[in-house]
Structure 1
Amino acid sequence: MSAAPDTAIRPEQIADRIVDAILARKLSPGQRLGEQPLADLFGVSRTLVREALARLAARGMVEVNSRRGWFVVQPSPDDAREAFEAREVIETGLLQALAAPLPAGAIGRLKHHLAQELAAIEKTEAEAAAADTGERSWLLGDFHVCLADCAGNSLLADILKDLTARTTLIATLYQSTHEARQSCAEHVQIVAALEAGNIPLAVQRMREHLGSVVYHLHAEATAEDDPLAQLRSALALHPAADAAADAAAPPAAARKPRPRRRLFTDLVAEPAAGAPTAFDPSHLQEP
């Protein structure tokens, strides 16, 4: 039985909860968002849910199929890279525009956020395979939103939340615990530069941090995009097997040449000595 509608819940609140779930990896790319289940969950009408989803579609978070309903978007690696490029422009520009060093209260808020990040990462490492990475992922993404808010620009904080959610949809699919710890360490360096009042260094570290995330994204996405990756891996001989085969084979000088079987003998003449052949098998070798 569905809950009674609660008019206190607004569509933007539903939309924000969905974005937070994306940041926490609770919603995955391509996941279906049913109107009635969401209405039951929030205790509102389907009309309010539809309005919330329409807002998210305008923000690039979800998409609708006329027959199948609403789904979380599935950004391609190129989409994610474009979002990272936009983030770099916004976040480095935000820091460059600071008229003065951040006040002590803002630095304290950022340090508290860093402590929460580290605690979530250590908890994930301790729990290993059974770990819930949602809090860790949400905190790592929210750092950038928090920084914009500490800089006094709530509008850019909202924009960054959407951009970070879009990159989270694909980037965190490949992010290991080690890379999460590296991201946290880079956040610490950014805050340290801000605390020292060294804005150019903070800008440099922010640019390097975003570039590092894009690098890992590119490396993993390239492997995923290789249609022959699984076959290539399956057919690759193990080094030990290669060595055993080489040891069992007779020396090259003792090998008898195997007679070449000719196809279409009467149609294709044997090439003259020294003449180039039309097919060079070396082209099939892996670079």
Structure 2
Amino acid sequence: MQTDDLQNEDARVAYEAIMDAIVTQKLAPSQKVSENILSDMFGISRTVARNLIERLIAKHFLVSVSPRVTIVAPLTLLDIKQNFTLRKMLLPSIFSLTGPRADFEKLHRLNREIEAMKAMKDDETALAFLKKNKEMNLALCENVGYPLMLDWVRQLEDIAMRIYWLYLKTEQGLPYSSEQQGMTIDVMKSDEPGRIKTVIHDMLAQTEERILATIFRNEQFYTQDLRL
């Protein structure tokens, strides 16, 4: 369920704050959560907390392990491989369908904004950087014309935020450059579906390899959950 479905501004703000906490691991993978914990952390009522827990379980960011225990969804190597496998299946097709219908002026603007945000002084600026990157990725898909596809992409991009956070905090950047993003935009202008699919698939494969290499290279990730 999307944040647009949340019924009031307080709930929307709380939802975004909880999602940010999951991405930045202020709510760590496999950490126990409850109505009381969320109410205390985010200054919301237990009723709002209960509703948000239900929504986040439905979106697989929280997991109900028993009637009385809910945890933040684990973050493992399998989750990374699953996310990239699904994105390599879905995104090349979506980008090839979007092709020249994309809003290229918007895409170039977002790419310039991302390039200007490279200096990440703290978690707040790093998170803003990741959100702008997600906005860019969603903008690449927004004119595909298939609402269900866009729902899937949003879900995968939200999960990818958790993955990219590991890389961003470890390497102080994304596993691909704004120049590569610019190349993606230029390829989409070509309106050559086969070429678009190949370029997008290869870029996702390279991104996955870089993220996995960083994880294997750092002993702090030698645990079941990938925690910073």
TM-score (norm. length: structure 1): 0.61
Is the CA contact 2:24–2:165 (under 8 Å) kept in the aligned structure 1? no
- Aligned CA distance change for structure 1 residues 96 and 196 (closer, same or farther; 3 Å): closer
Tell me whether 1:133 sits opposite 2:116 in the alignment.
no
- The amino acid across from 1:92 in the alignment is P
- Name the residue aligned to 2:3: none
DSSP-derived class of the 1:182 partner: coil
- Aligned CA distance change for structure 1 residues 172 and 40 (closer, same or farther; 3 Å): closer
Q: Residue 114 of structure 1: which of 111, 116, 135 is its match?
A: 111
- Aligned CA distance change for structure 1 residues 209 and 110 (closer, same or farther; 3 Å): same
- Aligned CA distance change for structure 1 residues 205 and 173 (closer, same or farther; 3 Å): same
Cα distance in 1 for residues equivalent to 2:33 and 2:126: 21
- Name the residue aligned to 1:88: 88
- Aligned CA distance change for structure 1 residues 131 and 55 (closer, same or farther; 3 Å): closer
1:165-220 superposed Cα distances (whole Å, 9 cap, x missing partner): 22332342133235x27343322111111234344333222112211121022213
Unaligned runs of 5+ in 2: 1-6, 224-228
- The amino acid across from 1:8 in the alignment is N
- Name the residue aligned to 1:152: 145
Cα distance in 2 for residues equivalent to 1:110 and 1:195: 12
For residue 42 of structure 1, report the CA deviation from its aligned partner: 6.5
DSSP-derived class of the 1:63 partner: strand
Cα distance in 2 for residues equivalent to 1:82 and 1:64: 20
What pairs with 1:209-224 in structure 2 (closer than 5 Å)?
209-223=203-217, 224=219
- The amino acid across from 2:100 in the alignment is P
- The amino acid across from 1:110 in the alignment is L
Q: Residue 176 of structure 2: which of 179, 182, 189 is its match?
A: 182
For residue 27 of structure 1, report the CA deviation from its aligned partner: 5.0
Is the CA contact 1:191–1:202 (under 8 Å) kept in the aligned structure 2? no
What pairs with 1:123-272 in structure 2 (closer than 5 Å)?
123-124=119-120, 127=121, 132-175=125-168, 176-178=171-173, 180=174, 182-223=176-217, 224=219
For residue 92 of structure 1, report the CA deviation from its aligned partner: 0.9
- Name the residue aligned to 1:245: none
- Aligned CA distance change for structure 1 residues 131 and 17 (closer, same or farther; 3 Å): closer
For residue 144 of structure 1, report the CA deviation from its aligned partner: 2.0
What pairs with 1:20-39 in structure 2 (closer than 5 Å)?
22=22, 27-31=27-31, 33-36=33-36, 38-39=38-39
What percentage of aligned pairs have identical amino acids?
19
Cα distance in 2 for residues equivalent to 1:36 and 1:190: 45
- Aligned CA distance change for structure 1 residues 130 and 162 (closer, same or farther; 3 Å): closer
Which protein shows a greater Rg? 1
Structure richer in helix, relative to its length = 2
DSSP-derived class of the 1:71 partner: strand
- The amino acid across from 1:202 in the alignment is I
- Aligned CA distance change for structure 1 residues 34 and 217 (closer, same or farther; 3 Å): same
TM-score (norm. length: structure 2): 0.74
- The amino acid across from 1:143 in the alignment is M
